[in-house]
Structure 1
């Protein structure tokens, strides 16, 4: 049984076809949200929209490259014309590049920063007028445990996710008295397609799993409730916070 904690609310989710994105979109739908789901993958986006419609939720699918201010403006126009309001923005779109400092190519660095860091900022910039007007807005930005601690690799990814952490905090302070809360979520090793490839390459040893005290990868369905908590009134006094979901990885 669901509690319909998002009944009547409108949520825009970027990167919606990824493992965590799809789990979050479907959970929001079950909790009564009206959804605008976005991604650059048109086919998977249409498939996700059909699954959400089967849950009885109202959903609009829109292509969105989060690194483009123009496409953000178009997405917000879709929200305004279809629903007239926006209560929740979930910035989930992200890409990863694994090399360290010396092996990272400049164009790869720029692309990761454009999507992960700039895309998060552009999303808040575009959506904030509607969020403020709603009187009860929530922005949920996706960082990572690699936005909290170093790994010795993934230089561009870590730089972008560390930036998302502090960008979320400064936005939380800026909008604290304007009816919008801003928080960040920091997943650890989660068995999504982006991470599974790395786990498979690590073979039986899987050092990332071994560094996780619970000795397993998380599931997307274990991360989605964090977004639900931050989206609904259960977190009405939570802003500028980091919600870490990592099986204990950053506890030692």
Structure 2
């Protein structure tokens, strides 16, 4: 039976947990070979070991700090050595909002650079080093994980919001630049998704209740709720989708 990513090779960042782990598992299930990267290699290797038992040698786990260009150079080289090409890039890795995320005036310059370097420059570096390989094979699909915060903003999290807004805008420009090479660039904007980064919020019942109250579907999303839209954008089913922003938020943004 044909699978949605047969004969495709994907590079996914932040693949050890949360949305990245869900994307990795779904991509493998749908026939892709995956270069799976994360800074947490212990957790990543555990996840990959489970997938290997079920699907065979279709995942290459690698350490990658998305802020470091040398890590990107090495990951792309190792991925090409094993799988020969890269059709899909999912810029998933990022740092999110925690219970001690600083607001505008409380943020330090170091806070600003950490968010921007991870959530925005990390996307730039990935595209910088993967796009030349996509050009060689006549096209590809890039999915940048932004955030609903890039549209609505979040009080008390200005550097985070700015970094996700940068990714969102960068996606638009890249989509125009790369379309002529048959390289599609789209972004996914998740709302409140239950991941390890959300633990501080989900353990606070009053805060959790207030978040859910603003979501018409009445619950937070699961990592798989993001993984399936990413799968669609990665697949040939989305061959005419370029520069799009796919909001995955249970309807939160509809209510303003």
Alignment CA distance shift 1:222-1:154 (3 Å) = same
Residue of structure 1 equivalent to 2:103:
100
User: Are 1:162 and 2:161 matched, yes or no?
Assistant: no
User: Are 1:120 and 2:123 matched, yes or no?
Assistant: yes
Name the TM-score, length of structure 1 as normaliser.
0.96
Cα offset, 1:202, TM superposition: 4.9
SS in 2 for 1:184: strand
Residue of structure 1 equivalent to 2:10:
11
Equivalent positions of 1:1-252 (< 5 A) are 3-57=2-56, 58-97=58-97, 98-203=101-206, 206-252=209-255
CA–CA distance in 2 between the matches of 1:235 and 1:61? Answer: 27
Cα offset, 1:204, TM superposition: 6.3
SS in 1 for 2:152: coil
Higher alpha-carbon deviation: 141-150 or 48-57 = 48-57
- Are the equivalent residues in 1 in contact too, given 2:201–2:208 (CA < 8 A)? no
CA–CA distance in 2 between the matches of 1:205 and 1:184? Answer: 26
Cα offset, 1:12, TM superposition: 0.3
Alignment CA distance shift 1:205-1:13 (3 Å) = closer
Tell me the alpha carbon deviations over residues 57-113 of structure 1, each in whole angstroms, 9 at most, x when there is no partner. 511000000000111001110112111110000000000252210111221211111
Alignment CA distance shift 1:226-1:77 (3 Å) = same
SS in 2 for 1:194: helix
User: Structure 2: any 5+ residue segments left out of the alignment?
Assistant: none
CA–CA distance in 1 between the matches of 2:80 and 2:149? Answer: 35
Tell me the alpha carbon deviations over residues 10-41 of structure 1, each in whole angstroms, 9 at most, x when there is no partner. 00000001211111100000100001000000
Name the TM-score, length of structure 2 as normaliser.
0.94
Alignment CA distance shift 1:23-1:32 (3 Å) = same
Alignment CA distance shift 1:23-1:174 (3 Å) = same
Cα offset, 1:181, TM superposition: 0.2
SS in 2 for 1:139: strand
CA–CA distance in 1 between the matches of 2:122 and 2:145? Answer: 11
Instruction: Tell me how large the CA RMSD over aligned residues is.
Output: 1.3
Runs of 4+ in 1 over 4 A off after TM superposition: none
User: Structure 1: any 5+ residue segments left out of the alignment?
Assistant: none
